[in-house]
Each structure stands twice: as structure tokens, then as C-alpha cells.
Amino acid sequence: MDAINNEVAQLKPAAQDQRPSRAEAEAAVRTLLAWAGDDPNREGLLETPARVTRAFGEWFSGYQGDAAKELSKTFSDVDGYDDMVMLRGIEVQSHCEHHMAPFIGKAHVAYLPTGKVVGLSKIARVVEIFAKRLQTQETLTAQIAKAISASVGAKGVAVFIDAEHQCMSTRGINHKDVGTITTRFTGEFKNNAELRERFLRLTNG
């Protein structure tokens, strides 16, 4: 149990004792506007710092979320069900930690229960909690699998994410419509090729 608790603890965001005030955040936006070459005091930009700060509050609300808490309530009255439970097509809206540019796509998540299941909406909520933080898609994929495995005690977890990164499509090499696919398999999904292939077939409908 201590090992599981340690795994879950690692998934929580760092303490935010040094979090800047809203006024400081808005001042930082004004600085960026001026650095970009515009006048933060012109009429069209006067309210922009406040709007950007509010938007950041939405985009990065995952730092206030707790995946372990979301997954803490389980249901054991499932008549012995022990086959795959899968959510397909969970919307992913995240931001890359390298450029803070959005990456948007879909996540497919499955697990093999061990006598208990978790509410379906909780799995989607866990995806959202980790997506609404700064990280890479690889990290996001691993965090989702780790949270479900540690909290639910599943026999195996599978995560598949397909997303388009705007740091690639709107800057740099400017390649559009390039999908990035990441996967993470644990337990039975990692050890059982037939089960893994079944999951991958289901991700394609």
C-alpha cells in the first residue's frame, strides 16, 4: 500500500506557495505584448492581460486537480466482470511545455478490473486533469496509465493518444495535419499481445 501511495503522490503537482498574484501575472502579459512589438495601452489590448490570465486559469486548471481523489471511489457490485473496460475518443486539449503551444487530439484508455470498477466519468476526468498542465504528450500518456494503475489496482492499463501539435503546425517546420501517437501498456496489456492488439483494433472503431 505504501508503494501505491508513493506512486500516487508523485502524480500531484508541486506546492504552489510561490504562485504569483493575478496582478503580477497580468503585468507579465503586458510585458510580453510590448516585447512582441505592440502597445499594451492601446484600446484593443487594455483588457487582454486580464483575459489571458483568466484563460490560463482554464487551460491549466489541472494543477488544482487530484487524480488519486477522482479515482478513490470504486464499485464492487459488477457481477464478477473482469474483462476490458475502455473509454474511446476522450478529448485532449493540452499545452506543450516546450513552447506552451496547444496540442489537441483524442485519448483511448482501457483497464482490466480486479473485482472493482471506477466510474467512467472519473477516467475522463483524470485525462483532463493531466492534460490541463504543461508537459509533453509522452509524459501525459504515462501519467494517465500510472494514476489508473496505482489507484484502481488494475491488472493492466492501456493508453493511446493521437494529437496534433501546434508547435509543429504553426511555427518551426510548419507541417500541418501531422498526428503524434503515444502509447503506454502496463500489466496484462504489456504481457499479452492478443489483448494489446484487441485494444488497438478498438481504438480504430
Question: What is the mean pLDDT of the segment spanning 34-46?
Answer: 97
pLDDT at position 21, please?
94
Active site residue ranges = 96-99, 137, 165, 167
pLDDT at position 2, please?
45
Report the topology of domain 61-203: GTP Cyclohydrolase I, domain 2 (3.30.1130)
Lowest mean pLDDT among 49-53, 124-128, 164-168, 186-190: 164-168
Kindly state the cell numbers that stand for 52.
489571458
Question: pLDDT tens digits for 137-183?
Answer: 999 999 999 999 988 889 999 999 999 988 887 887 877 878 899 99
Kindly state the cell numbers that stand for 112.
482490466
pLDDT at position 105, please?
96
Angle at 185 between CA 184 and CA 187, to 5 degrees: 150
More confident residue, 18 or 162: 162
**pTM for the structure as a whole:** 0.87
Question: pLDDT tens digits for 91-108?
Answer: 999 999 999 999 999 999
pLDDT at position 77, please?
79
Answer whether residue 8 shows pLDDT above 70: no
| β-bridge mates for residue 56, sequence order | none
The Cα 140–Cα 157 span in angstroms is 14
- Residue 79 — pLDDT band, cuts 50, 70, 90? confident
Q: 3-class SS at 200?
A: helix
Kindly state the cell numbers that stand for 146.
500510472
More confident residue, 175 or 26: 26
User: What are the boundaries of each domain within the chain?
Assistant: 61-203
Lowest mean pLDDT among 12-21, 41-50, 131-140, 196-205: 12-21
Q: Average pLDDT, whole number, for the chain?
A: 90
- Cβ(159)–Cβ(141) below 8 Å: yes
